[in-house]
Structure 1
């Protein structure tokens, strides 16, 4: 399991599942001739996209960022349509870290699409239960509202089986939520309630752009997904936070990248100068 330290915050990446989705949808209006130079595709034009959460450990507290696809919850049709080649192994990953699900204090959700929120609940004897029963679940108020009342487009990704069992644990925030070195900031863009995560301690910084920058290949400001509900808002958020991070020599981490857990670019954002590669 790959790890990183940001000041006094320990970061460990987990195994949350693997999907394979259409590369054109993942890169929007960017021509395949451009994006395929940075991210490979198979013969069906699909690209490999893990859904890997990570654990933050700080001041005796355990924070889980995102929750993976979940396990045993998707139908055969869903497994096929989303190109799932592996479901979540979250409990096994936590065990390797010496943790149990009951020991997670906070679950930080950048947004609540099924591929991020599937692991919030588990299916036991036909009933959905909270997977992290002792945790506060943090997400933006806008995201939480839409999760419960999705529109005609978003109902395909906001599923009641991912939220009804954890409703009492959710602690929504308006524009910002902070705990020590950790800050969540509402950005919108990919979804109306989408947030990013910033960890800053002892002069070091990591920015988790979540689905504003799902892979290292999405670093160009205009390279946003066709899945984004508000692409111009995504672009504006990238225009703000990418230069902010580059100026601070930040690590940028990824939830969906098949090759990198996190990278540092040079100050111009042209070259990767340091990286943590994902075990394959």
Structure 2
């Protein structure tokens, strides 16, 4: 498997790793948007499910190896859960890192936009000695609101915040309030919306401006500010933050990167957001065209 890479500038490179594949209900992923509209923009299977990759991004900058998001891990879900979440592939992040001459021990920071199960399961692994951190030497950056809800979920969020995804990494977690610049030009920004502590990621290095809108715009088909998820706890906040960050970035010609998109790793729209003018495709998606 070839790993897709994008050279940002200078010493900064993005590499997509294989964090596993899920297939989730399309109606839930597009909320109140009618299926005849969203299905024109994103393929759907006979079970009304859409493919959602869970692929962490290795960010190399300032001599550090950072990972954004955790993937779904391997051996972390029961057979029933695998079926419910439409898992067709589990993580091979360790093998990917090895192909790059790295190991999980070499990761210095993990940048989490939020801690829902499909983003956080790959932060730990099951071993003969019990559950252990996947990245034992890393600082795991999480918004403080998100971390608090992760540990104390409510009646709704307990279906995605699991103790098994935080108990082995608690000592590695560092929290922040509004914003955290991990290295110059790479920062997590609190938005709320999808969850109370949800964050987006901005990379501004050299002449590149890159946004990862995480799950307030999980795929390219969610570009419309009104197309938000039924999974969003605060959908009006998702809409507001998409207006605040996405629209100006499109006008300025910024890149958008994705964790979940079945087809695009990154893309850039024209200033009106009508046409994709430049993109980096997933290898499998490129071969299927």
TM-score range, shorter chain: over 0.9
Partner SS state of residue 34, structure 1: helix
Deviation (angstroms), 1:126? 6.1
Task: Give the whole-Å Cα distance in 1 for the aligned partners of 2:198 and 2:98.
Answer: 29
Say whether 1:102 aligns with 2:105: yes
Spell out, residue by residue over 1:142-201, the C-alpha distance to the aligned partner (whole angstroms, 9 max, x if none): 000000000000001011111011001001000000021201100000010000000001
Tell me the equivalent position of 1:149: 152
Task: Give the whole-Å Cα distance in 1 for the aligned partners of 2:236 and 2:143.
Answer: 20
Say whether 1:27 aligns with 2:30: yes
Spell out, residue by residue over 1:45-64, the C-alpha distance to the aligned partner (whole angstroms, 9 max, x if none): 11111100100001110110
User: TM-score, normalising length from structure 2?
Assistant: 0.95
Would you say the 8 A contact 1:258–1:278 is kept in 2? yes
Deviation (angstroms), 1:248? 2.6
Tell me the equivalent position of 2:287: none
Alpha-carbon RMSD: 0.8
Deviation (angstroms), 1:124? 0.7
Tell me the equivalent position of 1:193: 197
Detail structure 1 runs of 4+ shifted over 2 Å in the superposition.
none
Q: 1:54 is matched with which residue: 44, 54, 57?
A: 57
User: TM-score, normalising length from structure 1?
Assistant: 0.98
Map 1:1-280 to 2 at 5 A: 1-8=3-10, 9-125=12-128, 127-178=130-181, 179-280=183-284
Task: Give the whole-Å Cα distance in 2 for the aligned partners of 1:212 and 1:44.
Answer: 24
Spell out, residue by residue over 1:215-236, the C-alpha distance to the aligned partner (whole angstroms, 9 max, x if none): 1001001000101110000000
Q: Which runs of 5+ in 1 are unaligned?
A: none
Deviation (angstroms), 1:79? 0.2
Task: Give the whole-Å Cα distance in 1 for the aligned partners of 2:235 and 2:125.
Answer: 32
Partner SS state of residue 158, structure 1: coil
Q: Which runs of 5+ in 2 are unaligned?
A: 285-289
Partner SS state of residue 225, structure 1: coil
